């Protein structure tokens, strides 16, 4: 009787181990886009009810992502609209919002954007730091969106944090803009680069007044 119980116990352990191994094998591996997004706090985005930021010196935004209400404040005007009902009056403002949000949250745009092709990651030399780093290329479809056909080379370190990018309008071979991503700060679990600089000159693009409000 003891031998019979022992055999039953061994069989039970074998079945459990087999199920656990199968579960481990079937677990979905993350894509490069998901790894980059998660490294910047994408898993916390679901709790964000409002984000505010100032792009450069001229445009201040308040965005409530769950309702898609957007407010732009400049030195001349304040404009509010909802992204689910864009008309000819709000389209210009929305174009500016999409541009500024793209700079602010490019790691998340890898997940959000439609009509986007992402290349395999390769090792290469970063254009500004000249260090060996990882690179993927984003290519947007030729139709749809505000900047169809554009391409971005995204440079990121082994922790999947973006350090530089190169913008190529219309997927041209030569980049029209290359700049850094630096001065990362953590806003309630969302990592945002607050400054961008070119290799030459004193050009820089800062983000200020950044706040991330959770539910």
pLDDT category at 136 given cuts 50, 70, 90 is very high
Please name every residue paired with 60 in a beta bridge, in sequence order, or none if there are none: 54, 73
At residue 143, the pLDDT reads 81
Are 195 and 206 a contacting pair, CB within 8 Å?
yes
pLDDT category at 27 given cuts 50, 70, 90 is low
**Higher per-residue pLDDT: 22 or 83:** 83
Are 20 and 12 a contacting pair, CB within 8 Å?
no
pLDDT of 86 above 60: yes
Lowest mean pLDDT among 21-25, 77-81, 84-88, 101-105: 21-25
Q: Where are the alpha helices (DSSP H) in 27-152?
A: 32-39, 91-104, 106-112
Q: What is the pLDDT of residues 48-71, one digit of tens each?
A: 999 999 999 889 999 999 999 999
pTM, rounded to two decimals: 0.86
pLDDT of 145 above 80: no
At residue 23, the pLDDT reads 47
Q: Which two tokens stand for residue 58?
A: 């001229």
Beta strands in the chain (DSSP E): 48-55, 59-64, 69-73, 78-82, 116-118, 122-125, 132-140, 151-156, 162-168, 177-180, 182-187, 190-197, 204-214
Lowest mean pLDDT among 65-69, 103-107, 131-135, 140-144: 140-144
pLDDT category at 26 given cuts 50, 70, 90 is low
**Sole residue written with tokens 């607050």:** 194
Q: Which two tokens stand for residue 53?
A: 């930021």
Are 72 and 59 a contacting pair, CB within 8 Å?
yes
């Amino acid at each position: 009787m003891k031998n019979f119980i022992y055999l039953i116990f061994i069989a039970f352990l074998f079945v459990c181990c087999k199920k656990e191994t199968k579960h481990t094998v079937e677990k979905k591996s993350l894509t490069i886009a998901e790894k980059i997004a998660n490294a910047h706090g994408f898993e916390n985005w679901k709790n964000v009810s409002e984000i505010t930021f100032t792009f450069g010196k001229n445009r201040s935004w308040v965005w409530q992502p769950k309702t898609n209400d957007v407010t732009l404040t400049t030195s001349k005007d304040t404009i509010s609209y909802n992204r689910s009902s864009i008309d000819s009056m709000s389209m210009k403002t929305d174009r500016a919002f999409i541009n500024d949000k793209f700079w602010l949250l490019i790691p998340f745009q890898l997940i959000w954007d439609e009509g986007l092709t992402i290349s395999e990651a390769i090792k290469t030399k970063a254009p500004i730091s000249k260090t060996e780093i990882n690179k993927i290329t984003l290519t947007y479809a030729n139709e749809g969106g505000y900047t169809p056909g554009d391409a971005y080379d995204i440079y990121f370190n082994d922790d999947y944090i973006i350090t530089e990018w190169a913008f190529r309008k219309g997927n041209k071979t030569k980049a029209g803009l290359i700049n850094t991503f630096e001065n990362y700060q953590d806003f309630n679990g969302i990592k945002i680069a607050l400054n961008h600089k070119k290799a030459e000159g004193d050009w820089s693009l800062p983000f200020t007044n950044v706040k991330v409000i959770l539910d």
